């Protein structure tokens, strides 16, 4: 795999011999390592740090952070909704709160009241507030991804995603998206692939 010479975050150390001239539509990442002493590793770096050992080729698509929300991103950059995934944090309403991450195609709607409620064994659920999502994941809405989430956080992935040739995920940062095979979900230890996790959406 190749590495990008100019990612949108404080860059990990890369082998400069692997950096070609950038091409349109995003750059591929891989073969990087962090410096021996890192003052603060960003969430985006943690995402890439978890992604690289999975051994899957991927493309980092750099974007304007103002267009990070999925529908806006797809319209702005010409990517189909049915190849884009939303990672949604869901919370129980009863204290102490429990959370789960749910990943669905952007042209579908998460079935919170039936599928997710049954999976979590909770009577009442809600979408986590943006500040809750940030506190739990270190990621802002529009950048939330299935990677680098807390190790004890359940992750539910809609089975429809596994039928795709590729999927576009958040990168942990609103400045980029990750294009990768849905095989990525099978290689993450906390993921459970679920049939009918989502329903048809008006965006479809």
**Which own/partner contact pairs does 117-123 have at CB distance under 8 Å and 24+ positions apart?**
119/154, 119/156, 119/192, 119/194, 120/90, 120/92, 120/154, 122/92, 122/93, 122/94, 122/98, 123/94
Overall pTM surpassing 0.75 (yes/no): yes
Does residue 2 fall inside a structural domain?
no
Does residue 5 sit within a domain?
Answer: no
52 located within any domain: yes
Distance (Å, whole) CA 121 – CA 174: 32
Asked if residue 129 is part of any domain, the answer here is: yes
Range of the domain at 68: 13-200
Structure tokens at 37: 């002493």
Tens of pLDDT, residue by residue over 87-120, are 999 999 999 999 999 999 999 999 999 999 999 9
Determine the 3-state secondary structure of 44 from DSSP: helix
In a domain, 191, yes or no: yes
In a domain, 3, yes or no: no
Q: Does 124 or 10 have the greater pLDDT score?
A: 124
Q: How many domains does the chain have?
A: 1
Domain assignment of residue 8, yes or no: no
Query: For all residues of the chain together, what is the average pLDDT?
Result: 84
Give yes or no for a contact between 174 and 140, defined as CB atoms under 8 angstroms apart.
Answer: yes
CATH label of the domain that carries residue 144? 3.90.960.10
pLDDT tens per residue across span 154-204: 999 999 999 999 999 999 999 999 999 999 999 999 999 999 999 987 655
Q: Classify residue 46: in a domain, yes or no.
A: yes
């Amino acid at each position: 795999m190749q590495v990008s010479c100019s990612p949108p975050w404080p860059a990990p150390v890369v082998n400069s011999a692997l950096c070609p001239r950038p091409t349109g539509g995003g750059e591929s990442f891989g073969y990087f390592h962090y410096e021996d002493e890192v003052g603060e590793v960003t969430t985006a770096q943690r995402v890439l740090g978890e992604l690289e050992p999975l051994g899957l080729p991927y493309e980092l698509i750099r974007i304007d952070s103002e267009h990070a929300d999925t529908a806006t991103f797809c319209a702005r950059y010409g990517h189909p909704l049915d190849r884009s995934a939303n990672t949604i944090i869901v919370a129980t309403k009863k204290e102490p709160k429990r959370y789960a991450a749910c990943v669905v195609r952007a042209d579908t709607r998460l079935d919170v009241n039936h599928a997710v409620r049954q999976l979590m064994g909770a009577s009442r659920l809600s979408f986590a507030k943006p500040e809750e999502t940030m506190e739990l994941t270190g990621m802002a809405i529009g950048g939330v991804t299935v990677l680098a989430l807390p190790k004890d956080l359940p992750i539910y992935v809609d089975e429809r995603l596994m039928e795709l040739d590729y999927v576009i995920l958040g990168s942990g940062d609103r400045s980029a998206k990750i294009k990768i095979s849905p095989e990525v979900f099978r290689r993450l230890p906390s993921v459970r692939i679920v049939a009918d996790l989502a329903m048809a959406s008006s965006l479809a």
